[in-house]
Structure 1
Amino acid sequence: MSKCEGKVIALTGPRKAEEMATIVSKQGGTSLIRPTQGTMFEQFEHLEAEVDKLIYEPIDWAIWTTGMGVDKLVEAARAAGKGDALLAKLAQLRHAARGYKTVNALRRLGLAVDVRDDDGSTLGLIRALRSGGAERFAGTRAALQLHGDPAPALVQFLQEAGAESVELMPYRHTPPEDSVLRQLTEELLEGKIDAVAMTSAPQARFLFAYAREQGLTGQLLEVFKERTLMAAVGKVTAAAIADEGVERILVPEEERMGALIVTLSQWFEQQHS
């Protein structure tokens, strides 16, 4: 018997959902693509303004939190005829990165990463920044690339270290259509889903915000406690899910989407053994 045979897994991420669905199928399961998060790229004028911050403002450090953010800013710079100027400026800076995708995005640009996290999380990045001596940030200016949401912990670290932060927001997370949230919520309450695989914190926030609006939070939490398993791609996503009141959360050791589905399959297999 395949590990996920007879199991229905809801995929809530809008990116790479088809790839994850293929992995689910190879594990013998059935996937439902139910994106509970939309990603909105800002208008070009806004992106060019963010690029200009990097090029023209005095900056010593660039702190990156997503590979998509790196790619989007470089793409906007090239579209505005400022690609070479941006890359020249970035080559002068010291770089800190959260997550392997972010590190890879910087390396594709020929940029060395001076500091990186130890576990794919923002807190891991802060630990790495602190371990090298927070005093090195005193009197500096750091460009902080946000990933669709504010990053108060990073901002606080920089403030306490005596650094000034320049925030860059190349994109924002937006909720999906209510119809998607309604469909997923109904399927969960009707017991039609065996597991939900989430790949970012906003996915949890938008799902439970909808549940609160409908007065269904308690019922939804009961579903995740008694029947449907919640699975998170990593610690950041898991923390956001836990903040919503979910107690049973499966997290793979390796913070990757493929590892998430494989770990989920192994969990189901253990339940049958």
Structure 2
Amino acid sequence: MKGLLNKRIGIASDRQSGTIASLVLKHGGTPEIFSIQGTRQRNETACIESITTLIRKPFDWVILTTGIGAKALEKTAAEINQTENFLRSLRERKLAIRGSKTLNWLRDHDLVPERVSSDGTMAQLFSIFKADAALPAENRVYLQVYDEDEAELKQTLETLGCTVYLSKPYHYESPKKQVLKALTGRIISRTLDAVVFTSKTQVRNLFNQGDRKEELVQAFNDHVLAVAVGKVTASEISDQGVSQLIHPDPPKMGAMIVRLDQYYEALPQ
């Protein structure tokens, strides 16, 4: 298929941008990389505190929201010679997760979750908890997040009657201003045909420009196609006011570019 022939595709991701660019080229498109993810930083002090708390204090549930977060905690546990205690603490608690990367990390350590979000979203995971009353009042919950989502997730759990400890193993720094400005300009000028997003962070970094948001939304809705790697990222794009967007099922990079190719192939010539 060559549905991307003569199409200019912006790529907002960072570490996966080279792979995505190769896939775009394979389908006849022209990739342009604008990495607006921002550099990920491990919060070492927070990780040490989180691991110590997990080991020493009682929790009914441990909720892991990202594979990156689980790996960050594991790395710090190894550095402070607490790997065995860290993994034993996880085995002794009921585990709930979202995301395939988190599930893969659990499998690597022979850990079995009690609850798994079927579509990779926290909303689905919380709906499971509500449906089967798995989180009765006064449950103590260890919630691993990264800084963007902490308030909303914590509030949701507290509404269910839980006491919540927040573990924040990492955060993202702001993207380079010149890169963000360049992508913004290319979208508003309609000189890109589509933009590929692989995380909510990228979406938020782009749209959290108060003076440009309206122009960006308009450009996406009348010309530039927003493309998300999966449902979580797509939901964030939709929440920003963008109605013209696509995402693949399953949420994989290769499937995403195939879906994009198919989208353009299906358009009338």
Aligned counterpart, 1:60: 60
Aligned counterpart, 2:230: 234
Establish whether residue 199 from structure 1 lines up as the match of residue 186 from structure 2.
Answer: no
1:4-60 superposed Cα distances (whole Å, 9 cap, x missing partner): 121111111223222222221222212112122214323423321221121112112
Establish whether residue 48 from structure 1 lines up as the match of residue 81 from structure 2.
Answer: no
TM-fit CA distance, 1:107: 1.2
1:199-223 superposed Cα distances (whole Å, 9 cap, x missing partner): 122212211223x2xx333332222
In structure 2, what is the Cα distance between the partners aligned to 1:12 and 1:105? 25
The alignment's TM-score, normalised by the length of structure 1, stands at: 0.91
CA contact (8 A) 1:34 1:184 kept: yes
Aligned residue pairs: how many? Answer: 269
Q: 1:244 to 1:161 in 2, by over 3 A?
A: closer
Aligned counterpart, 1:30: 30
Q: 1:161 to 1:244 in 2, by over 3 A?
A: closer
State the secondary structure of the residue aligned to 2:267.
helix
Structure 1, 154-163 or 249-258: larger mean CA deviation? 154-163
In structure 2, what is the Cα distance between the partners aligned to 1:27 and 1:272? 18
In structure 1, what is the Cα distance between the partners aligned to 2:157 and 2:190? 46
Aligned counterpart, 1:163: 162
In structure 1, what is the Cα distance between the partners aligned to 2:225 and 2:13? 16
One-letter identity of the residue aligned with 2:115? V
Question: Residues 145-164 of structure 1: matches in 2 within 5 Å?
Answer: 145-164=144-163
1:82-129 superposed Cα distances (whole Å, 9 cap, x missing partner): 111101111111100101111111111110011001211111111122
State the secondary structure of the residue aligned to 1:137.
coil
Q: 1:185 to 1:157 in 2, by over 3 A?
A: closer
Aligned counterpart, 2:249: 253
Q: Percent identity?
A: 33
Q: Which runs of 5+ in 1 are unaligned?
A: none
One-letter identity of the residue aligned with 1:65? T
Q: Which runs of 5+ in 2 are unaligned?
A: none
Structure 1, 67-76 or 3-12: larger mean CA deviation? 3-12
State the secondary structure of the residue aligned to 2:9.
strand
TM-fit CA distance, 1:152: 4.1
